[in-house]
Amino acid sequence: MTAGARSADNSTGQPAREAALQLLKAVLDRRQPLDESLEQGLSGLEGPDRGFARAIATTVLRRLGQIDALLAHCLDRPLADNAARARNALRIGIAELMFMNVAAYAAVNSAVELCGREAGQRRLVNAVLRRLGREGAALLAAQDAARLNTPEWLWQSWSDSYGEATARAIAEAHLTRAPLDLSVKAEPGHWAERLGATLLANGSLRLAEFGQVTALPGFEEGAWWVQDAAAALPVTLFGNVRDQRILDLCAAPGGKTALIAARGARVTAVERNANRIRRLNENLARLGLTAEIVHGDAAAAPETGNGDGFDGVLLDAPCSSTGTLRRHPDVAWLKRPEDVEKLAGAQDRLLRAAAERVRPGGLLVYCVCSLQRREGEDRVAAFLAADPRYRREPITAGELPGMAETVTADGDLRSLPCHLGAEGGIDGFYAARLRRL
Ligand SMILES: C[S@@+](CC[C@H](N)C(=O)[O-])C[C@H]1O[C@@H](n2cnc3c(N)ncnc32)[C@H](O)[C@@H]1O
């Protein structure tokens, strides 16, 4: 049974619904990322209720545009500003009723309880949800889900960058929960079999259905780590890194550090955020992998011992993360166009600094988990125009077996959530490989 189905046949799970309401408040009212709100938001809940609370919050955020359109359809006038609790209770009720297979009586009654004691608001929540119980299916069928669940500025920027049909395919991919992808230290075939996973062409393992990740075989012994298949690709662009010195900038929580270390390189990993360094250390310790870890600004990264530069530098720059909406639907509602502009400035600064740490003849790989060209193609074009020491080293389709659709005409990597559709999609990533002359 999935976490979302737990309370489908009864009206228990009210603590989980209260927790989901608080999570929505944190994301939509206080603009906190969902991941950062989960630890506090789910504390005090038992295992299945934790899953149910998370499933409700994620479903509301994934379908927010559709849910708010259904709500608007049922209201004569917009809800008052002081009806924030009722609004979120309604969103949760609609999510359960329309998208989570929760029995209608349970979805309606629990939302009425959730909205508070004010009689008028209880009547309103009851009336809206009962009406949607009758008319919701037809209203839903007439909705443009991909468009409604995508903020307008994102829709426009993806249409401008990739064309409208691809923008729609991207938005459609966001409607479905992403599978679980794992990177393995070694023996991918063996672990695919042990886990009942699909082995993707790039060596990542994929599980469509999964429970608690830490309970899966191989977690305790550090055989694998969670990493979207697309996130594993930038490291591949260095080719064989055995015994090379690789500088990994903006490294935590360490998915790429682990991959570089597992492939036999000597890694120096730089990260600015102390809490995230802790996670990086924990992850490497579990995996039995080593790296030199430096706490500090990537723009002031250390040099190699004799100052001759690293064989390779990876810059996984901080970005808007709009390539990860399948896994983090809150990002769609948290990020704004001005964030992208601000991030572009930081990306330029970090790229210039990273370029100083590459030895002549070495490689610089720049990547972001963003669908925005402003953070990807445009940053690399500006860098190459300004630094004559570097040339793009085009990626060939043969280097990324089974993923040729992610290679652009310029020889960059540009994965989209609609790529590898038959296998369950991949995150949106951009990466460019640059050679220092
Ligand atoms: C996209 S995440 C990195 C993901 C990581 N490379 C992985 O594969 O697991 C970006 C990271 O950059 C860090 N960061 C942001 N600005 C930084 C800076 N100026 N110097 C060092 N780290 C920075 C953030 O704290 C965050 O952990």
> Could you report the per-residue pLDDT of 322-358, keeping only the tens digit for each?
999 999 999 999 999 999 999 999 999 999 999 999 9
pLDDT at 5 (0 to 100): 43
pTM, 2 dp: 0.95
The catalytically annotated residue of 74, 319, 369, 418 is 369
Nearest to 156 by CA among 310, 357, 374, 303: 374
**Residues 124-139 pLDDT 10s:** 999 999 999 999 999 9
Question: Taking 50 as the threshold, does the pLDDT of residue 193 lie above it?
Answer: yes
Query: Is 369 an active-site residue?
Result: yes
What is the per-residue burial (b if ≥16 Cβ within 10 Å, else e) of 294-311? beeebbebeeeeeeebbb
Q: What percent of the chain has pLDDT over 90?
A: 92
CA distance 420 to 415: 9
**Residues 410-431 pLDDT 10s:** 999 999 999 999 999 999 999 9
Tell me whether strands 292-295 and 266-271 are parallel, antiparallel or unpaired: parallel
> Was 254 annotated as part of a binding site?
yes
Give the up-direction half-sphere exposure of residue 355: CA atoms within 13 A in the CB hemisphere: 21
* Cβ-contact 65, 98 below 8 angstroms: no
pLDDT band at 80 (very low <50, low <70, confident <90, very high): confident
CA-253 nearest atom, ligand 1: 9
- Give the distance (Å) from ligand 1 centre to CA of residue 290: 18
pLDDT at 211 (0 to 100): 84
Question: Taking 80 as the threshold, does the pLDDT of residue 10 lie above it?
Answer: no
pLDDT at 306 (0 to 100): 87
CA distance 102 to 120: 25
pLDDT at 24 (0 to 100): 98
According to the 3-state scheme, what is the secondary structure of 98-114?
HHCCCCHHHHHHHHHHH
CA-254 nearest atom, ligand 1: 9
CA-276 nearest atom, ligand 1: 27
Query: Which residue spans within 284-418 are E strands per DSSP?
Result: 292-295, 310-316, 358-368, 390-392, 413-415
Neighbours of 139 (CB within 10 A): 16
What are the chain's domains? 14-143 (1.10.940.10), 218-436 (3.40.50.150)
CA distance 162 to 410: 15
CA distance 143 to 344: 35
- Give the distance (Å) from ligand 1 centre to CA of residue 361: 25
- Give the distance (Å) from ligand 1 centre to CA of residue 247: 13
Nearest CA to ligand 1 atom 27: 252
**Residues 303-315 pLDDT 10s:** 987 889 999 999 9
Phi and psi at 106, nearest 5°, equal -70, -45
* Cβ-contact 116, 123 below 8 angstroms: no
Helices 274-287 and 255-262 meet at what angle, rounded to 10? Answer: 40
CA distance 191 to 207: 11
CA distance 103 to 101: 6
Q: Which residues pair with 316 in a beta bridge?
A: 367
What is the per-residue burial (b if ≥16 Cβ within 10 Å, else e) of 384-398? eeebeebeebebeee
